[in-house]
Amino acid sequence: MIRITNLKKRLSADFTLEIPSLEIAEGERVALIGPNGAGKSTLLRLLAGFISPDEGEIDLGLPVGSAGYEPQQPYVFRGTTEKNLRMGVHGSADVPALLRECDLAALGDKRADRLSGGEKQRLCLARMLAGNYRLLLLDEPLSAADIETGERLALLLKRHCEASGATLLMSTHLPQQAASIATKILILYNGKVAEYGDIAALRTPESDFGKRFLAQWKLE
Amino acid sequence: MDYIKEALFLLLHPDAELTQIIGTTLIMSFFSTGISCLLGLPLGVLLGKGRFRGKSLLLRVTNTLMGLPPVVAGLIVFMLFRGVGPFGSLHLMFTVPIMVIAQVLLITPVVTGLSAAAAGEKSALILETARGMRLSGVKQTGLLLRECAPQFVSIALMGFGRSIAEVGAVSLVGGNIQFKTRVMTTAILLESNKGDFRRALALGIILMLISLLANIPAYTLQEKMK
Amino acid sequence: MKKLLALLMALAIILSLAACSGSKNEPTDPAAPSVTDAAVPAKTPENPVIRLATTTSVNDSGLLPYLLPAFEAKTGYKVEVASAGTGVAIGYAKSGDADLLLVHSKKQEEAFIDEGFASTERLSFMYNYFVIVGPADDPAGIKDLATAADCFKAIAEAGTGFASRGDNSGTHNKETSIWESAEIDPTAESWYNSLGKGMGDTLTAANEMKVYALTDKATFLSMKDSLPNLAILKEEADDMKNTYSLLGVKADAEAFAGTNVAINTEGANALIEWMLSDEAAALIADYGKEQYGEQLFFLIEK
């Protein structure tokens, strides 16, 4: 269980991330949604422990180091695709299967710095999945994929989390992706939690959350 | 063409003095570059990736020192190590070690500045990714160094180039003593001053051949690293 | 690739080994003299290294490399000749980094003595002639004038150009004193080029610009082949003597008090004694005869 209480993080004169209270149960998959500058990356970096809050507390309910974090622009290291993937392995991982699942099987021996933008992003996602983390914090991990590939990778991510019981927080701009992966939706707006609720509510748009979600979405 | 022929002839039939000159030059440049890199690369990486107070001041100082004229570096070392200077008791004047010291003073800022720029450019992305992958601190630093390695080779090569071609500092503290502290550049200066332009030019060509020889493996190494 | 690296390393090692063995052939270590009997010195000096500071012009003329091996073979000393501009050479001596000086600049030598650095008086032991070189067609018409001062006056009047070393060296000081006796201040004139360079560079520049210059004869002769536009127009006037002096450095000079400066007085004296000897005199008188067909340095009568 992730528990955030009275969190305040001031980033600039006109932007402060404020979350009075937020709980995420183990095994949930949360899609972070919100316009640019809403605080999505800041929240992920706070959870990853890269920055610390000015006030309040974050309790991951996990030992430090068991959360994997992927920044918005992850770096691919020198060496081949496969070598990059192996760098991410903690414990055991089926590297050939991961390569296959992420459409990288044919690129295993290719120099990673020569991959295309989409290929690099798939590699970085695969590298995260190889780490067997109990909490995955991913900052727009599928932004460079086309819609079809994005859908497929979203399903892969979902299956992976279901199988391992890992908790997932990922930011995204695409409602379809959010819908196909997440169990919960967290909408950030101007540093505050605008909405946080069950994905199922979306399927009943007449509910309060569904109405508000759709209203928020139009803001973007 | 004649000059190149003469240079090759000299290189193939070196007299005792030429062998000494080339040997001393290589030894001096090897140590100058090596020590400068040992000091400058870690310092540059720390400066490039670190976030601390006074960082921009330190970077500015380094950039200023990168433009230190060789004669001034020589002069500073001369004032420190001359017989009546504070380190005069070490009796290092007119030796190869003092030439190395003067060159280290000259080259370390260049290595530091360039490696700070190289590491600074990518360090944030590399370290955030590596940290996100929960790699150990040692591994993170290792990865950063590994990613910057191709640039480090270029930087070391630049340091070597500057060392081998530098004359102002080494002639002042080395004294251009025959069979002792005479190196390629001071020999070229001497020969051209004597009006023996043929030998001067031949020596110059040999100097460039040595630079070329150092460049080839470095370039191959860099290609291999990618 | 690795092979290439290995090859380069090997080359570097071979060269440095060669360099080390090369320098060991020199009598750097008289305690272990080479096997050739003739080279074995009579006695081994306690402090075998003599540090001689001199000007580039002395070193460039080739006289020292010609003279010193005889001294080193005889005594077992090793003379390390540090050559730089006169100012720097005297600077080395004042810093305690030279045991003796060989220079040719009366004013600066006297200042050195006045400041209490000298262990000997000015031991002027030889001279050569400065010469005025210039374009062979002699546009200022100096060829038949009596003194250097007269020549300088003519050069100033013609205004066709003069290249000066401008580096405060012995040669430059000599030039300045000739201008003074000609009562001319050329420094602001457009035909006067103050280069701030050594003798060789100055002659090369004069050759390119086709202008007059003052030089020591030995340097000019040794460079003659690369100076096709220049000829000796005036030599051996009384006011054109270039006198070389030896000066020992005083071990207990005031400036050295409280420092670790160690002057090899014994070695310096040995070298001075030898330079003033008949053996050296004979060598000096012969110098240049073979290569240039004339005597370049003349001994001062004792």
Domains of chain C, earliest start first: 42-127+243-299 (3.40.190.10), 129-241 (3.40.190.10)
Distance, in Å, from the CA atom of C256 to the CA atom of C94, rounded to the nearest integer, reads: 9
Residues of chain B with C-beta less than 8 angstroms from the C-beta of C11: 213
Residues within 8 A of C (CB atoms), B 150-189 only: 171-172, 175-180
Domain that holds residue B35: 2-225
**ipTM rounded to 2 decimals:** 0.85
Domains in chain A, CATH or no CATH each: 2-66+134-219 (3.40.50.300), 74-132 (no CATH)
Q: What is the pLDDT at residue C14?
A: 45
Distance, in Å, from the CA atom of C94 to the CA atom of C103, rounded to the nearest integer, reads: 14
Average pLDDT on A89-109 reads 89
Please state, as a whole number, how many other Cβ atoms lie within 10 Å of the Cβ of residue C6.
11
Contact flag A111-B226 (C-beta cutoff 8 Å)? yes
Q: Is C26 on the interface with B (CB under 8 A)?
A: yes
Query: pLDDT > 90: what percent of chain B?
Result: 59
Q: What is the pLDDT at residue C24?
A: 37
Contact flag C19-B23 (C-beta cutoff 8 Å)? yes
Q: What is the pLDDT at residue A2?
A: 92
> How close is the nearest chain B Cα to the Cα of C133, in Å?
16
Phi, psi of C142 (to 5 degrees): -100, -10
Residues within 8 A of B (CB atoms), C 96-135 only: 96-97
| Three-class SS state of A126 | helix
Q: Which two tokens stand for residue C147?
A: 């003194």
Q: Which two tokens stand for residue C58?
A: 């002395």
Residues of chain A with C-beta less than 8 angstroms from the C-beta of B128: 50, 71, 75
Among B44, A79, B145, B148, smallest CA distance to B137 is for B145
Distance, in Å, from the CA atom of C18 to the CA atom of B19, rounded to the nearest integer, reads: 6
Please state, as a whole number, how many other Cβ atoms lie within 10 Å of the Cβ of residue A17.
22
Distance, in Å, from the CA atom of C108 to the CA atom of C53, rounded to the nearest integer, reads: 14
* One-letter identity of residue B47: L
A64 pLDDT tier (thresholds 50, 70, 90):
low
Chain C neighbours, 3+ Cβ pairs < 8 A: B
Residue of A3 and C237 predicted with greater confidence: A3
B59 pLDDT tier (thresholds 50, 70, 90):
very high
Q: What is the pLDDT at residue A120?
A: 92
Residues of chain B with C-beta less than 8 angstroms from the C-beta of C16: 23, 26-27
Residue C236: half-sphere exposure toward Cβ, Cα within 13 Å: 5
Residues of chain B with C-beta less than 8 angstroms from the C-beta of A67: 134
Q: Which residue in C5, C54, C80 has the most chain B C-beta atoms within 10 A of its own C-beta, making it the best mutation to test that interface?
A: C80
* Contact of A87 with A127, CB cutoff 8 Å: yes
Q: What is the pLDDT at residue A216?
A: 60
Distance, in Å, from the CA atom of B80 to the CA atom of B169, rounded to the nearest integer, reads: 13
Residue of B219 and C131 predicted with greater confidence: C131
Q: What is the pLDDT at residue C13?
A: 46
| pLDDT, one tens digit for every residue, chain C (302 residues) | 445 445 444 444 444 444 444 333 344 334 433 434 444 555 678 899 999 999 876 777 788 989 999 999 999 999 999 987 778 889 999 999 999 999 988 888 999 999 999 999 999 999 988 999 999 999 999 999 999 999 999 999 999 999 999 887 788 888 999 999 999 999 889 999 999 888 888 999 999 999 999 998 888 888 888 899 999 999 888 788 888 999 999 999 988 988 888 999 999 999 999 999 999 999 999 988 888 888 888 998 76
Nearest CA in chain B to A112: B226
Q: Is C51 on the interface with B (CB under 8 A)?
A: yes
State how beta strands A15-24 and A167-171 pair. unpaired
Answer whether residue B96 shows pLDDT above 80. yes
Measure CA A56 to chain center. Answer: 23
Determine the length of chain A: 220
Least confident among A45-59, A206-220, C69-83: A206-220
* Contact of C51 with C84, CB cutoff 8 Å: no
β-strand partners of C213: C133, C163
Distance, in Å, from the CA atom of A58 to the CA atom of A51, rounded to the nearest integer, reads: 11
Q: What is the pLDDT at residue C251?
A: 92
SS (H, E, C) chain C: CHHHHHHHHHHHHHHHHHHHHHHHCCCCCCCCCCCCHHHCCCCCCCCCEEEEEEEHHHHHCCHHHHHHHHHHHHHCCEEEEEEECHHHHHHHHHCCCCCEEEECCHHHHHHHHHCCCECCCCEEEEEEEEEEEEECCCCCCCCCCCCHHHHHHHHHHHCCCEEECCCCCHHHHHHHHHHHHCCCCCCCCCCEEECCCCHHHHHHHHHHHCCEEEEEHHHHHHHHHHCCCEEEEEECCHHHEEEEEEEEECCCCHHHCCCCCCCCHHHHHHHHHHHCCHHHHHHHHHCCHHHHCCCCCEECCC
Q: What is the pLDDT at residue C259?
A: 87
pTM tops 0.80, yes or no? no
Provide the CATH number for the domain around residue B81.
Answer: 1.10.3720.10
Determine the length of chain C: 302
β-strand partners of C100: C52, C248
Q: Which of A73, A113, A127 sits opposite B133 (nearest CB)?
A: A127
Tell whether the torsion through CA atoms of A56, A61, A65 and A66 is positive or negative.
negative
Interface A–B counts its CB contacts (< 8 A) at: 51
Contact flag A68-B131 (C-beta cutoff 8 Å)? no
Answer whether residue B167 shows pLDDT above 90. yes
Q: Which of B19, B176, B195 sits opposite C223 (nearest CB)?
A: B195
Phi, psi of C207 (to 5 degrees): -65, -45
pLDDT averaged over chain B? 90
Q: Is C15 on the interface with B (CB under 8 A)?
A: yes
Q: Which residue in B134, B136, B221 has the most chain A C-beta atoms within 10 A of its own C-beta, making it the best mutation to test that interface?
A: B134
Domain count, chain B: 1
Answer whether residue A34 shows pLDDT above 60. yes
Residues of chain C with C-beta less than 8 angstroms from the C-beta of B214: 8
Q: What is the pLDDT at residue A210?
A: 63
CA-to-CA dists, residue C292 to A74, A186, C221, C224, C289, angstroms = 75, 97, 7, 10, 6
Residues of chain C with C-beta less than 8 angstroms from the C-beta of B177: 80-82
Q: Is chain B adjacent to chain C, meaning 3+ CB pairs within 8 angstroms?
A: yes
Contact flag A50-B128 (C-beta cutoff 8 Å)? yes
Q: What is the pLDDT at residue C26?
A: 40
| Three-class SS state of B165 | helix
Q: What is the pLDDT at residue C42?
A: 55
Chain B neighbours, 3+ Cβ pairs < 8 A: A, C
Q: What is the pLDDT at residue B194?
A: 75
pLDDT averaged over chain A? 87
